[in-house]
């Protein structure tokens, strides 16, 4: 959550409970709720994730310009890829986004509790007891099994409503969605339930981040077959979406056309290309910077060791800075003796094992480094920068995981 965003459980409407919006688009808590905000959002420890909501909006506009024929379903699942879902959703809502996408019913409920009124699509399917919550909170369900349709229709009848849904087909991802063999039965079940309006048709590409992928081409062909079967069954879903960030940036079809009219960018919204070959396709800027500060400095002699297991030994008299961030915050143990941070515009190596709450860096070559200095873990300082991609390579993972892994006890601060 961003420190100046609304909180889980906050009323969605009413003069006393509605979020106040500044001219900059930031949502500030009213006095009653300021007293109730999360203790971990207090800015006491210098560790925080700074979220540039202006860059977020510009990324959204750049993607709209890149693919002018498409509306945007902005993915804000997983706490907006670690960026703070409620403040991100509010800013995108103000920018005119068509839909917001989440994975869980609970994530959709959190947005509604924070006063987000834009349409929200729950893409992970639902769970027992979740359909009533979706109908009550005006969340749009993704369905792909007959029991989904029956449960959603029953919840709609009990509420006296007609509800929208998106149908997901499995074109080759092998995760969720109705198979080609199941599709006729699912469509027949939808015809029996007038309580459900089929608003959208969706699928998901497994290898869109791979250049010239034969699997992607095969999935596009299956999508066409599925789309025709849906139309032949008498349905005309207004929204058709298959393109994630990779397809949006990398496929000619991903920029719009008869088969699709909606794209689902996630990582690209937050300013990163999903794969190196997609960099530079659209003008994107990273939204998240991760920062902390020096809380202690010590001089150690040559031969001294640092941190658990004595995995680092000083080869010269050295100056070691302690930072209040560790693997409990998402700064992984895998960065031990491998990563660097930025201090006074210079790189300083992480030395010794990263601890649960702290890590140490060698600032011997950083002239005049002092307690209280700002330290950049992800972002830019002076002429140097450290990216989520750089950290991902050190940990043997992907930048998605680095961003989503920034821990819940790290406050998100809108800048």
The per-type count for the chain, helices as H runs and strands as E runs, is 12, 22
Give catalytic residue positions: 77, 308
**CA dihedral sign of residues 234, 224, 181, 196:** negative
Nearest to 357 by CA among 390, 340, 333: 333
Q: How many CB atoms lie within 10 A of CB 380?
A: 14
Residue showing tokens 């600032």: 363
- Say whether 163 sits in a helix, a strand or coil: strand
**CA dihedral sign of residues 78, 84, 85, 88:** negative
- E strand or H helix at 27, and its extent? strand 27-28
Query: Are 343 and 369 in contact, with CB atoms under 8 Å apart?
Result: yes
**CA dihedral sign of residues 202, 204, 209, 212:** negative
- E strand or H helix at 44, and its extent? none
Query: Are 46 and 293 in contact, with CB atoms under 8 Å apart?
Result: yes
Question: How far is Cα 271 from Cα 373, in angstroms, rounded to an integer?
Answer: 27
Task: Give the list of residues 6+ apart from residue 91 with CB closer than 8 angstroms, or none.
Answer: 25, 53, 56, 57
Query: Are 131 and 151 in contact, with CB atoms under 8 Å apart?
Result: yes
Question: How far is Cα 188 from Cα 87, in angstroms, rounded to an integer?
Answer: 40
Question: How far is Cα 317 from Cα 303, in angstroms, rounded to an integer?
Answer: 8
Query: Are 351 and 362 in contact, with CB atoms under 8 Å apart?
Result: yes
């Amino acid at each position: 959550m961003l420190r100046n965003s609304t909180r889980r459980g906050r009323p969605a409407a009413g003069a006393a409970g509605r979020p106040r919006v500044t001219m900059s688009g930031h949502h500030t808590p009213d006095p009653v709720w300021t007293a109730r905000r999360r203790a971990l959002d207090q800015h006491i420890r210098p560790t925080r994730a700074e979220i540039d909501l202006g860059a977020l909006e510009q990324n959204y506009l750049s993607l709209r310009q890149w693919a002018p024929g498409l509306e945007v379903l902005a993915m804000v699942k997983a706490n907006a890829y670690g960026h703070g879902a409620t403040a991100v959703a509010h800013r995108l809502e103000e920018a005119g986004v068509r839909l917001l996408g989440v994975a869980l019913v609970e994530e959709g409920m959190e947005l509604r509790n924070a006063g987000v009124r834009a349409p929200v699509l729950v893409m992970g399917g639902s769970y027992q007891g979740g359909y009533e919550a979706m109908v009550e909170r005006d969340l749009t369900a993704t369905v792909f099994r007959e029991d989904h349709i029956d449960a959603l229709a029953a919840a709609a009848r009990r509420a006296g409503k007609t509800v929208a849904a998106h149908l997901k087909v499995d074109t080759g991802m092998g995760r969720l969605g109705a198979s080609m063999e199941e599709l006729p039965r699912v469509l027949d079940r939808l015809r029996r339930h007038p309580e459900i309006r089929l608003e959208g048709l969706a699928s998901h590409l497994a290898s869109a981040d791979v250049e010239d992928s034969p699997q992607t081409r095969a999935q596009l062909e299956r999508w066409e077959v599925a789309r025709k079967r849906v139309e032949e069954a008498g349905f005309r879903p207004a929204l058709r979406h298959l393109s994630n960030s990779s397809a949006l940036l990398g496929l000619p079809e991903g920029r719009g056309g008869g088969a699709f009219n909606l794209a689902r960018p996630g990582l690209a919204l937050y300013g990163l290309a999903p794969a190196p070959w997609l960099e530079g396709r659209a003008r994107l800027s990273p939204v998240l910077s991760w920062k902390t500060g020096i809380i202690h400095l010590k001089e150690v002699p040559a031969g001294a060791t640092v941190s658990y297991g004595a995995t680092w030994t000083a080869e010269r008299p050295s100056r070691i800075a302690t930072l209040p961030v560790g693997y409990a915050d998402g700064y992984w143990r895998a960065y031990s003796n491998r990563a660097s941070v930025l201090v006074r515009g210079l790189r300083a190596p992480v030395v010794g094992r990263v601890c649960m709450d702290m890590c140490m860096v060698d600032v011997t070559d950083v002239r005049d480094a002092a307690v209280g200095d700002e330290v950049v873990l992800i972002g830019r300082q002076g002429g140097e920068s450290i990216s989520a991609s750089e950290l991902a390579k050190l940990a043997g993972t992907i930048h998605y995981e680095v961003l989503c892994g920034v821990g819940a006890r790290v406050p998100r601060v809108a800048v």
